[in-house]
Structure 1
Amino acid sequence: MRSVIVLILTMTTLYSCRPKKPATTSGFREKLSDYGFFKGALSQLSPEAHVHRYDLATPLFTDYAVKDRFIALPEGGSMQYRDSGALQFPDGTFIIKNFSYRDTAGDKVLIETRLLHKDPQDGKWKVMNYLWNEAQTEAEKWIAGKQVPVTLLDDNRQRVSTLYQVPNTNDCKRCHSSNGTLLPIGPKARNLHYGKGEQLLQWASAGILKGMPDISQVPALPVWTDSLHYSVPQRARAYLDVNCAHCHTKGGDADNTGLFLEYGQQQAAHLGILKGPVSAGNGAGGLDFDIVPGNAAASILAYRMNSTEPGTAMPELARTLVHKEGVALIVQWIEQMKKER
């Protein structure tokens, strides 16, 4: 009898030490640690074997936040490459994005973690936010949004203070909605393909990405900071694609504006060139056109990107600071444009 009890206790201990599997229902868990995405100290974000880190060629700007991104696939699941360059994720997938800032000592401080979950019960994507505690030991489910006072170092290590805006779940849905359907934004093949495509090639080799053609056939989005390999127009268009086009596209939240900023967009009017605003109101600053070639100071696009005022600032969500480097690139792009005759 004693040996049986010892065996039961041993098995119970071993079972309790196993990493928890991701939730398989539409109900999100109360704490980030409940999912078993990470091993060791939670704040170290050290992924378990089924959780795969990824980086983007051109990322979305969020108040100079440092972002750690991961994809957690269900057991035996794999991503599927589509001819359009989109990735199809299996039901049960989690896309995990962690937001941190660098404090004045240069240390990383976690603020929030956002989850996209492809519900296996209906195949639809669902969203949830998790807010980190001051001790950096846990992040708890947070639906309502919150303003968090932070003092951070920007990309030039300049000290900046702001009220970082943790979005509510409805804000997330606005940006991630396409024709009323919730979809991932960042992890597209073109934005995962940079350098020599090592990231995508590793996934294909590991069997978690299937159907990918030769890497030379996979489209690649320019790296917006890489002035050595890409021109100003290429970098500016990539920046607008990632930071604006999830709303400014057909079926997006800003569909009614007629301003469509996808990287592949070719129509001058849709790009805003000598196009009057549709719904900007006072946010247009009294200017007449979204883009005036050769004149950034007269262009609504640059004006709104350079503002933090509610009703004027664009993007209107996900930032409280002006992205100085991003605005400088867009200004340079507009100034270099040939003026229309």
Structure 2
Amino acid sequence: MPVLLTEAMAQSRPYGLEARVPNTSLLINLAQNAPAATISATGLFRDTAKQIVAPGIIPYAVNSELWSDGAEKTRFFALPGNAQVDFSRDGNWHFPPNSVLVKNFYFDFVKGDPASRQIVETRLLVKMGATDTWKGFSYQWNDDATDAHLLRESDRRTFFIVDTDAPDGIAQQRYFFPGPEDCSLCHREASGRVLGGRTHQLNGEYNYGAISDNQLRTLNHIGFFTEDIGEDYSQFPRWANPRDESAPIANRARAYLAANCSHCHRPGGVERGDFDARYETPLDQMRTVGISPSLGRLDTELENVRIINPGKADQSTLLLRTLNFSSFRMPPLASSVLDEDGTSLLRKWIDGMSTSTSVASESSIPEEFDLAQNYPNPFNPTTAIQYRLAEEGPVELTIFDLMGQRVRQLISGDHTAGSHQVIWDGRGDNGMSVASGVYFYRLRSSGGGITRRMLLLR
């Protein structure tokens, strides 16, 4: 059994890793070469079939995991040679040029039986030289788990899981492999690109095999950082583990939202999602409690629905979107399996809120400020969008796609108070016709912001 270090034992007990070994195998310089075509050729593993990593590649774990449809994951840092990381207690860590972050994904092919666990995917997040740009790559493992090939574009596979609770004892699991263009949808500039390698995620215990130790303490001991960060991390930020029932439920729920939502839902994130899911944002500043959803309601009969409706989880779109598998699904990418533990946690947190928690009036938007549903809807090739302004001032009317990327800036400038109408011809900013699908249009002015959904059918 691993030995768990207490604070009193910290100075006398061995660390999780005794010394650092230079990484001389997993070295990727995107300015010179693309990643290897197979995972066995990357230098990640000393033994590919057993997934034993090469010397110098450092394991780590995070306090709050992103939901990946039930996959088990392992994570590793691969810094060139003995290169070091610039530490930040509260902000982003700054990684050296050509750093590689590794994540392996495994499924139990007999539900609940770890002995049936097999690797299905490896992802590499690679820093482009000394820039702040990172590129993601996915390797899809073969059926025998002996090697994996690099994907040039996204892919989906169906895995068959032995599950006594499923019809005929077999469950089908649809799994998404991201293409290089998909990785930046979560690893955004506003979120610092690197999501897991931060103080609040690594300030916790890790089982190194013979011993468990605080990860920050171990990394500091082996010279992972450019400075000595000491051994007292009691005042360092630390996210709760959402599955740790001994932690306060609010901390667990906020950590779950931070890991699964805040890379997009934050200042500078997706423009059509204007609430702030970061862990450190006070609840009354999240723009969720008592706020009407800007993307519309999942059930139009729920007149009292809010993003968070205190004490009423079934009238809170923050929960409802995690239960939904239509275009309103959150997260919108790479998930087709319900996170039963995560959604149960959100439900308990919201239901446990007192109605006095509400921090917003029925609407933070003046009655004179309004954005109507486009007409016709669905539409092809044009649709009319009407809106009303309470006062003269700057106005923006913008079209976004499902991923929150801007498609067309319809209006940007000063408008007089009163009613207005604009026609969208189904074209993007580049003048090209956009594809059929769901789009969102958002109106912003001094009166606030409203977003609505529309459907283009070619």
TM-score by length of 2: 0.65
Q: Hey, what's the Cα distance between the residues in 2 that align with 1:227 and 1:104?
A: 27
Q: Does 1:215 align with 2:247?
A: no
- Determine which structure has the larger strand proportion and give its number: 2
Partner residue of 2:293 out of 271, 277, 281: 277
Letter in 1 for 2:313: A
**Aligned position for 2:183:** 172
Counting only pairs closer than 5 Å after superposition, residues 37-116 of structure 1 correspond to structure 2 as: 37-40=44-47, 42-104=48-110, 106=113, 107-116=116-125
**Aligned position for 1:132:** 141
Q: Does 1:264 align with 2:280?
A: yes
Aligned partners of 1:285 and 1:303 also within 8 Å: no
Instruction: Note the C-alpha offset of 1:133.
Output: 1.0
Q: Does 1:293 align with 2:304?
A: no
Instruction: Note the C-alpha offset of 1:333.
Output: 0.2
Aligned partners of 2:135 and 2:183 also within 8 Å: no
Instruction: Note the C-alpha offset of 1:159.
Output: 6.5
Alpha-carbon distance change, 86 to 35 in structure 1, aligned in 2, over 3 angstroms:
same
Instruction: Note the C-alpha offset of 1:257.
Output: 2.0
**Aligned position for 1:190:** 200
Q: Which runs of no fewer than 5 residues in structure 2 stay unpaired? A: 1-22, 206-211, 359-458
**Aligned position for 1:25:** 30
Letter in 2 for 1:67: K
Alpha-carbon distance change, 132 to 276 in structure 1, aligned in 2, over 3 angstroms:
same
**Aligned position for 2:354:** 338
Alpha-carbon distance change, 45 to 121 in structure 1, aligned in 2, over 3 angstroms:
same
Aligned partners of 2:92 and 2:192 also within 8 Å: no
Q: Hey, what's the Cα distance between the residues in 1 that align with 2:276 and 2:49?
A: 38
Letter in 2 for 1:115: L
Instruction: Note the C-alpha offset of 1:298.
Output: 0.7
Alpha-carbon distance change, 258 to 39 in structure 1, aligned in 2, over 3 angstroms:
same
**Aligned position for 1:329:** 345
**Aligned position for 2:262:** 245
Q: Hey, what's the Cα distance between the residues in 2 that align with 1:318 and 1:218?
A: 32
- Determine which structure has the larger helix proportion and give its number: 1
Aligned partners of 1:302 and 1:331 also within 8 Å: yes
Instruction: Note the C-alpha offset of 1:127.
Output: 1.3
**Aligned position for 2:42:** 35
TM-score by length of 1: 0.85
Letter in 2 for 1:224: P
Aligned partners of 2:96 and 2:130 also within 8 Å: no
Bigger mean CA offset, 293-302 vs 181-190: 181-190
Instruction: Note the C-alpha offset of 1:83.
Output: 4.0
Aligned partners of 1:94 and 1:118 also within 8 Å: yes
Tell which structure's C-alpha radius of gyration is larger.
2
The structure showing larger relative contact order (alpha-carbon pairs under 8 Å, at least 6 residues apart) is 1
Letter in 2 for 1:308: F
**Pairwise CA RMSD:** 2.4
Partner residue of 1:204 out of 217, 220, 227: 220
Q: Hey, what's the Cα distance between the residues in 2 that align with 1:153 and 1:53?
A: 30
Counting only pairs closer than 5 Å after superposition, residues 219-238 of structure 1 correspond to structure 2 as: 219-228=237-246, 230-238=247-255
Q: Hey, what's the Cα distance between the residues in 2 that align with 1:231 and 1:69?
A: 27
Letter in 2 for 1:147: R
Partner residue of 1:118 out of 123, 127, 130: 127
Secondary structure class of the residue paired with 1:29 = coil
Q: Hey, what's the Cα distance between the residues in 2 that align with 1:339 and 1:304?
A: 21
Letter in 1 for 2:236: V
Instruction: Note the C-alpha offset of 1:209.
Output: 2.3
Q: Hey, what's the Cα distance between the residues in 2 that align with 1:242 and 1:219?
A: 14
Instruction: Note the C-alpha offset of 1:110.
Output: 1.6
Aligned partners of 2:26 and 2:78 also within 8 Å: no
